[in-house]
Amino acid sequence: MSMFQVIILTVAILGVFFLAATLIGIWRFRKKVNKADPIQLAHLMREKLDKGEAALSCRINRKLWLDINENVEFPIASVPQLFIALEYAKQAANEKVNPKELIQVDELTVFYIAKTDGNAHLNWLASLNNPTEVTLKQIVEGVVVYGSNANTDYLIKKLGIDSINETLNESELNIHDNVLPITSQLYLPVKLINDGMSKSEAFDYIEELSRKDFEKEVLLAFDDWCASPPSESVKNEVYSLMSMSFQKLWTNKLSKSTTRDYAKLMGRLNRETFYSEDIYAHFTPLLHTKEKIDPEIKYYAQKAGSTAYAISLVSYAESISNHIELVYMFNNLNTMEQTTIRGIVERFQKEFMVDPDFRRKVKKVLTEPLEEKRKKKKKK
């Protein structure tokens, strides 16, 4: 064996060893997280509050329980899909659309970009035994329950982006960017590159766009997509450009809102106020979880949104004794923080909704350091 072959073999062995060690480390960390006390989510939030990288709003029986960084704007990923579902419910209530209308799955595939949605679209189809056609209502369920980006953009095309944003504006929230198609946000760099820009020029151009101009570019890209759907090779280009730097840029360009506004919205949805009964008849069944998560909870609903850097969760529940709305948002998360949140969030939600002692622990973790700082400032 030549010296060159020895070097290549050594490098290969070291590479395999490093990969194995990394995978084992990740597995051990995830195993540890899955057994961790859900209060750790509150501790992580506490660490990020002072940096403006976390926020929480909670109402219990219509009374303020806690607001922290409630007016700070956060990228909320797919959470605005709620307004697409609300617009669907409005149009269904007014008989503008038929929930039982059958749609070919191929019409949804037009908007599907593999490996860009955490398998949300494929998981939704698998839950229906991979049909060739689905009802309009099932498509909306794929958005609300699974977060399918392909279904989202199909509904934007069918319901109309202007109508969706009119529903958003009618909701009287203080801070909320317009709802935008998702796939065309991912497609935009490829479109710019095909128009003559280099990759770095395309990224810089997107980064420098104002919110208004970004929305215009995304909607133009969406119109192009609908008029002439990209081939699979172009979709592969979209995926190939989704580096961590682009995902960070995309996160920063996503629609933003606040925990306070979403606590307000979730309160309305929880008690079925503000919108008409006919709208809720179509909307509420979409949002409520089918599984009984605890004997004390009569019903529970949540919508989560995430990217590689941000996580938002909006939720409500009616337990035996309380109506609770809980909303929290994170930004600038690293991989370990993401893994920690994903590993304990379900247990955190359940404990928070049913256990007053757990809620007191959460409040103590989140507020005691703040009180100490206030006292120190007063002394100075």
Contact 272, 260 (CB under 8 A): no
Query: Given a cut of 80, is residue 37 above it in pLDDT?
Result: yes
Query: Given a cut of 50, is residue 149 above it in pLDDT?
Result: yes
- Average pLDDT on 235-254 reads 96
**What is the Cα–Cα distance from 363 to 45, expressed in whole angstroms?**
11
Does residue 13 or residue 298 have the better pLDDT? 298
- Average pLDDT on 35-47 reads 93
- So what's the pLDDT on residue 2? 59
374: exposed, middle or buried (C-beta count within 10 Å: 0-12, 13-18, 19+)?
exposed
Q: How far apart are the first and last CA of the chain?
A: 74
Q: Where are the beta strands (DSSP E) in 258-366?
A: 297-306, 311-319, 323-330
- So what's the pLDDT on residue 18? 44
Residues linked to residue 297 through DSSP beta bridges, in sequence order: 319
- So what's the pLDDT on residue 380? 54
- So what's the pLDDT on residue 32? 45
The answer to which of 30-34, 197-201, 268-272 has the lowest mean pLDDT is 30-34
**What is the Cα–Cα distance from 41 to 115, expressed in whole angstroms?**
28
Write out pLDDT tens, residues 97-138.
999 999 999 999 999 999 999 999 999 999 999 999 999 999
- So what's the pLDDT on residue 290? 84
Strand-strand pairing, 297-306 and 256-257: unpaired
Write out pLDDT tens, residues 272-281.
999 999 999 9
Write out pLDDT tens, residues 14-28.
444 443 433 344 334
- So what's the pLDDT on residue 377? 54
Q: How confident is the model at residue 376 (pLDDT cuts 50, 70, 90)?
A: low
Angle of CA points 194, 199, 201, to nearest 5°:
100
- Average pLDDT on 216-225 reads 97
**What is the Cα–Cα distance from 298 to 289, expressed in whole angstroms?**
11
- So what's the pLDDT on residue 307? 96
Query: Given a cut of 50, is residue 265 above it in pLDDT?
Result: yes
Domain ranges within the chain, ordered by starting residue: 1-35, 39-75+257-379, 81-252
* Mean pLDDT for the chain overall: 91
**What is the Cα–Cα distance from 102 to 104, expressed in whole angstroms?**
7
Query: Given a cut of 70, is residue 205 above it in pLDDT?
Result: yes
Task: Look up residue 364 and give its amino acid.
Answer: K
Does residue 62 or residue 26 have the better pLDDT? 62
Task: Look up residue 223 and give its amino acid.
Answer: D
118: left (phi over 0), alpha (psi -120 to 50) or beta: left
CB neighbours of 376 closer than 8 A, spacing ≥ 6? none
Q: How confident is the model at residue 36 (pLDDT cuts 50, 70, 90)?
A: confident
* DSSP 8-state secondary structure symbol assigned to residue 288: B
- So what's the pLDDT on residue 292? 81
**What is the Cα–Cα distance from 371 to 229, expressed in whole angstroms?**
55
Write out pLDDT tens, residues 295-318.
999 999 999 999 999 999 999 999
- So what's the pLDDT on residue 31? 44
- So what's the pLDDT on residue 378? 58
**What is the Cα–Cα distance from 289 to 285, expressed in whole angstroms?**
8
Nearest to 330 by CA among 18, 28, 40, 53: 53
- So what's the pLDDT on residue 293? 81
Query: Given a cut of 80, is residue 88 above it in pLDDT?
Result: yes
